[in-house]
Amino acid sequence: MDRYAVFGHPVKHSKSPQIHAAFASQTGQALRYEAIEAPLDGFAGTLRAFVAAGGRGGNVTVPFKEQAFRLADRCDALASQAQAVNTLRVEADGRLHGFNTDGIGLLRDLTDNLRLDLRGRRVLLVGAGGAAAGVLGPLLGAGVGELVIVNRTAARAQELAARFGVLGPIEAAPLQAPGKGFDVVLNATAAGLGGRAPAVPADVFAPHTVAYDLVYGPAAAPFLELARGAGAAAGHDGLGMLVEQAAEAFWLWRGVRPATAAVIAALRGAG
Ligand code: ATR
């Protein structure tokens, strides 16, 4: 059976094995998908051993996405823009092909699942790490009217705004003064993992604002509570994005596109 895996540290709570098992049974694809915790200083070796043992592809999560980008023999445009890889495919000649499906996953969740038309919208992206870099290209490609990026460390937001400026209307702003009443506010920081919300002013939110955290579950709660407290009517965590980025990876590996709605609903039901 073809083998796939998600590599991360930590990785034992990953929902990816469950998601890909659901995709495989739904599409009749024979494959095995496991979670592999690589040592913090041993991602390359762990990945090489997996490929040597016949592994066909993998997902890469925190903190290895930038390393995966450097290890890949070639990368698609989105991964190259982001300088981060979340999906690896082992080609017939053994070479590693890197992709980044995070931004596509976010876009599919926002537009297909949540029925949000991003064209012309004012979007605030909070955070300037790997997660933010992974979604900038697809967000700008969706035709947003204005994309403001802010970050605790301002220089990182400025660097991303400069790097992605060729793709669309992006500008960096101070974390304390990003502007008011955005249509969409996206949290791409890791603050929620420590139980905190990023320190954005309350008036970035308005009643019409859609707040979205790229992480899912309890880690999304501080940001979504901040948004709700500031009057935003709609708040969503990143579970839909997780399933959609997985569906895109499955398509890259197997050439078959799984349906996602039932998988998202099942994960929500399971808590
Ligand atoms: P990831 O791959 O998850 O994006 P990362 O590259 O380490 O991880 O980036 C983490 C992001 O979360 C950064 O934007 C970071 O801000 P800094 O660049 O200033 O470090 C942000 N972040 C982490 N903890 C935060 C907090 N408590 N408040 C605000 N931003 C935070």
Q: Which CATH number fits domain 2-100+240-269: 3.10.20.30, 3.40.30.10, 3.40.50.300, 3.40.50.10860?
A: 3.40.50.10860
pTM of the model: 0.96
The predicted pLDDT at position 149 comes to 98
- The span from the CA of 187 to the CA of 135, in Å, is 11
Coil/strand/helix, residue 124: strand
8 A C-beta contact, residue 37 and residue 46: no
Cα 157 to ligand 1 centroid, rounded to whole Å: 11
Strand (E) or helix (H) holding 269? helix 261-270
CB distance 192 to 215 below 8 Å: yes
C-beta 131 within 6 A of ligand 1:
yes
- The pLDDT of residue 270 is 82
pLDDT of residue 271: 65
Task: Return residue ranges of the chain for CATH 3.40.50.10860.
Answer: 2-100+240-269
Euclidean distance between CA atoms 102 and 183, whole angstroms: 21
CATH number of 103-237: 3.40.50.720
Q: Whose CA is nearest to atom 5 of ligand 1?
A: 129
Considering only CA atoms, give the Rg of the chain.
18
Tokens of 100: 């980044």
- The confidence score (pLDDT) of residue 53 equals 97
Residue-level pLDDT at 260: 98
All residues at 6 or more sequence positions from 80 whose CB lies less than 8 Å from its CB, including other chains: none
Give 96-100 contacts, CB < 8 A, sequence gap 24+: 96/51, 96/71, 96/72, 97/72, 97/73, 98/68, 98/69, 98/71, 98/72, 98/74, 99/75, 99/248, 99/249, 99/252, 100/65, 100/75, 100/76, 100/134
- Structure tokens, 256: 């078959």
| CB 152 near ligand 1, within 6 Å | yes
Cβ of 62 less than 6 Å from ligand 1: yes
Q: Among this protein's residues, is 65 annotated catalytic?
A: yes
CA distance 183 to 90: 40
Instruction: Outline which parts of the chain fall under CATH 3.40.50.720.
Output: 103-237
* Residue among 57, 132, 143 at smallest CA distance from 92: 57
Question: What tens-digit pLDDT sequence spans the chain (271 residues)?
Answer: 999 999 999 999 999 999 999 999 999 999 999 999 999 999 999 999 999 999 999 999 999 999 999 999 999 999 999 999 999 999 999 999 999 999 999 999 999 999 999 999 999 999 999 999 999 999 999 999 999 999 999 999 999 999 999 999 999 999 999 999 999 999 999 999 999 999 999 999 999 999 999 999 999 999 999 999 999 999 999 999 999 999 999 999 999 999 999 999 999 998 6
Catalytic residue among 12, 15, 65, 180: 65
